[in-house]
Structure 1
Amino acid sequence: MKLKTKAGALLLTLISISSLFTSCNGQETFGNQYLKLVKVISLPDVKGRIDHIDVNEKERIVYISALGNNSMEVVNLLRGKVIHTIDGLSEPQGVVYISKQDEVFVANGGNGDCYFYDANTFKKTAIVHLPSDADDVRYDSVQGKIYVGYGEGGIAIIDVNTKKQTGDIKLPAHPESFQLDIPSGKIWVNIPEAGMIAVLDENKGKIIAEWRIHDPSEYFPMAYDNRDHRLFVGCRRPARLLVLDSESGKKLAELSCTSDADDMYYDKNTQRILISGGSGYMDIFQRAGIDTYKQIAHLRSRAGARTSLWIPQMKEWLLAAPAGRGNTAALLVYKMD
């Protein structure tokens, strides 16, 4: 009995150790040579879910939408600490730094309001009211436009100079991630509740194509390769990476990926796709040929770290990890080789 007890204890220990290196879908971690954790910046006062991130690259300042905390955290990457907190927000989600004006724009999911802030004084300079659930944002620095997905179905267009809404494209349900092609005026939008990816024409102000993909489904993050006209879509049911022809919607590749994905990036210099998932894992895929992709890394991050930001010039990948399991909330800073 004693020998059996010791053997059982050893088996449980080995299983426990093994689970540390195996994701929830049974895939073992690999690819450590591609990514190195270089800094963990504590967000000590942040509770609850964390949403999107943006950066002032010149000053190395990061803006984090702490949705569950109703705040925006301002982090100095060089000093490795929070330098300011904007409180009293209403479930902030999308955020963008406007370099030309040295301002920060944040979209609130709770009340739908969008705020402009002076990036030095953090004084609120303008408010744009949207109906509800202002979510993901994109910034066109050339034309000075911010695009905001919101409510039961719409993309609002806001002029950063006048700080007024100048356009609105109606959608059948709430939009998740979307991507812009500035030269053509096309916008691709994930609309999981409607079971489709919509293609919009900004100039016409309407949907011009609907791509219905039922398996896999629940598509949230999206990235775009404007050179080769490829659209990368992250699905949650089941967890898959889809590669689509951005002109026709034709599916060109499908690969398993981390679950509960919420942010995705395509790095044109390395031709790599980066995906962060709330399951606590992050993936890197390498383009290996014409419409051929290979997973080169599946690494542990932290549970709930679904949102992230890729900074190509610095080769840095920032992940927002919420508090939990004895850890305070933190910004995880990775360097990619």
Structure 2
Amino acid sequence: MKLILLVLGISLSSGSAIAQPAPPLVLQQTVKLPGVTGKFDHFAIDLKGNRLFAAATGNHSVEVIDLATGKVEQTISGLGKPHGLVWVASTHTLYVADGTLAELKRYQGSPLELAGSIKLSDDADDMVYNETNHLLFVGHGGSGAAAPPSIAVVDTDSFHLKTDIAVASHPEALEIDPQSQRIFANIADSSEVSILDGAGNTANSKWRLAGASHNVPLAFDAEDQVLYVACRTPAVLLALDAATGKELARVSTGEGADDLFYDSSAHRIYVIAGAGEVDVFQTESKTKLRSLGVVPTATGAKTALFVPSQSLLYVGVPGAGSKSAEIDIYSTSIVQGGN
């Protein structure tokens, strides 16, 4: 009798294991960064060179990581607070927005060396690049009259400031619609999204958010023309109609969202929350988002980079005390045929 019960228990246990849904993300590799401390901000990738660029804000550096070896091949030091990063493959150029030094820096060569800088204002932050006309949009300012909030439009061919477009308060994340070339900018302290034309001439319109504020990260679904915005107060993810700004859906997320990505092949959203988690959602329609689960990371792991061609999500884990920072690399491909 005991043997029968034991066999039955094993059978039930195996059946339960088989019935379990696939995890929304699978940790594939951890890249240790010895001597790097503090938090990260944004990332960029050189696909041809197989290098990851990490804005190690707390370490006042940009770390250049050889992904083939999992080792740091170069540390760009002497920075204040590096925030936004953009890699332009066609010119082999890395752009770094430095919030403390209030500059946009350009690095070229091998190893990367400073090839110029443009003075901006305090808290130079996130950036987005328009490949069509080679314009770089950089959010900066917002601390007062001496540094009004605006979005700098930089001509990368001549590397000069084309214009500054005023916004209501400090710009956070920026994103581009590759079809219309509109630029979307989260204006967090004003609870609104500003829309700029891709030629960098003007801010066309703005959408005021209802019942949600401190909208920091955003992502764009070009196929369905939906803008996803993550807010911190309360901690929610909003789906907005990209033509009108009308709210289509709303779901709860982890606290302190700071990065957000849309996976067009899997129709999924990854919300990176500073509380220590990645929230994964399935976009079943424009008006319905379904949670696929929460992947625990680490407190303060608030930024990441999703690389569609690799089906990988790189999450920056801060270093503190004797523990150095690291990059946790998650596979997203397993979920594409799963849940």
After TM superposition, the structure 1 stretch with the greater mean CA deviation from structure 2, 301-310 or 191-200, is 191-200
- Distance apart, 1:201 and its partner CA: 2.9
Aligned to 2:235: 239
Partner SS state of residue 68, structure 1: helix
Pick aligned residue for 2:209 from 198, 208, 213: 213
Q: Indicate the residue corresponding to 1:296 in structure 2.
A: 292
Match of 2:78 in 1: 88
Point out where structure 1 has 5 or more consecutive residues left out of the alignment.
1-29
The structure-2 alpha-carbon separation of the partners of 1:298 and 1:32, relative to structure 1 and needing over 3 Å to count, comes to farther
Could you tell me which residue of structure 1 aligns to residue 118 of structure 2? Answer: 128
If the length of structure 1 is used for normalisation, what is the TM-score? 0.87
Q: 1:275 & 1:115 partners in 2: Cα distance?
A: 28
Question: Which of 50, 61, 66 pairs up with 2:51?
Answer: 61
- Contact persistence 1:104–1:119 (CA under 8 A): no
Q: For residues 194 and 285 of structure 2, what CA distance do their matches in structure 1 show?
A: 28
Residue identity in the other structure for 1:307: T
> Which residue of 2 is the match for residue 167 of structure 1?
163
- CA deviations over 1:94-148 (Å, ceiling 9, x no partner): 0111101111110100021111111522111111111221100111223222111
* Structure 2 partner of 1:279: 275
**Offset of residue 53 of structure 1:** 0.3
Counterpart-to-counterpart distance in 2, 1:214 and 1:183: 27
Query: Which one of 171, 177, 183 corresponds to residue 173 of structure 2?
Result: 177
Structure 1: distance between partners of 2:72 and 2:79: 17
1:260 is the counterpart of 2:260: no
State the secondary structure of the residue aligned to 2:259: strand
Amino acid at match of 2:116: A
Match for residue 154 of structure 1? 150
Alignment partner of 1:320 out of 291, 316, 321: 316
What's the offset of the Cα at 1:202? 4.3
269-278 vs 183-192, which moves further: 183-192
Q: How many residues align?
A: 308
Closer, same or farther: CA 65–204 of 1 in aligned 2, 3 Å: closer
- Of 302, 307, 321 in structure 1, the residue corresponding to residue 303 of structure 2 is 307
CA 1:119 to 1:236, structure 2 compared with 1: closer, same or farther past 3 Å? Answer: farther
Distance 2:213 2:103 in 1: 30
State the Cα distance separating 1:291 from its structure 2 match.
Answer: 2.1
Root-mean-square deviation (CA), in Å?
1.7
Aligned to 2:26: 36
Kept in 1, the 8 Å contact 2:319–2:326? The answer is yes
For each residue in 1:187-217, what CA deviation from the matched residue of structure 2 results, as whole angstroms up to 9, or x when unmatched? 2211111222222234573333222224221
Tell me the distance in 2 between the aligned counterparts of 1:323 and 1:32.
30
Matched residue SS, 1:223: strand
Amino acid at match of 2:111: T
Match of 1:101 among 91, 98, 113: 91
- Residue 337 of structure 2 corresponds to none
User: Quick one: which amino acid aligns to residue 330 of structure 2?
Assistant: Y
Shift of the 95–203 alpha-carbon distance from structure 1 to 2, 3 Å rule, reads closer
Q: TM-score, normalised by structure 2?
A: 0.87
Give the stretch that moved more between structures: 180-189 or 224-233.
Answer: 180-189
Task: Quote the residue 2:190 is aligned against.
Answer: 194
Query: In structure 1, the residue corresponding to 2:189 is in which secondary structure?
Result: helix
